[in-house]
A and B are shown apart, each in its own frame.
Chain A
């Protein structure tokens, strides 16, 4: 039987119960985007303050399931102080972690705490919950106006 505890890790439950950088609109934010998953109604707005190519601050608002909320919370923590290019690379790593059948070797070191999301891979229906915040962050960095859907 699939172990629920791998999906609902302690860290995920904690970030769901007490999301970091939430609800928060960072002072002087200059990037934002809206993410929406019409299937389950998860909906977030992600805000970033980017200066000299570095994400100085990050915050989010909205509501979603435990997986999408924890993922957004963990993401905002990870992004703070990160170069924009590195944030994009991190998004690619998270995406790989969640979607690739066989992970070649150990998960990338840059993932750090985000490896708690590994369990989501066993629940294909939930992958889009975990990636919603990340797609939205990506859109915010590219200053896309449109609502991002993970459908």
Chain B
């Protein structure tokens, strides 16, 4: 066991970590930040996406010890300072971009990363960017719509409903 320290959602935190502890485990079990979900064991589903030093990564593919000292942001750090939903989160609620909510943290983190790289993505670009995130509930329609709305685009013309 080694004590690993990093900055998570703006706060310096530390917890014990084995050499094999994944960042997803470190967040969920070490820090009890359970908003980051684990949906697979082959790095395919994207439920575990967080930001490490500003980049979206699948936290199930990263060893906690390898990101010691990094700036990590999780879904728990995405709301506005006053606790209200951030722009992307609000768009997901407004456009019904989630159902069971399990894929949602990863979707929001991925969407944030997309909009940072590409502030006005086309529908096609959104779909391509979500390649690593699986949602079984929504059929993606409303996720895509929510992300485009969050980018400030008018989504009222996107296929009926």
A and B are interacting partners: no
Using a CB–CB cutoff of 8 Å, the interface residues on chain B facing chain A are none
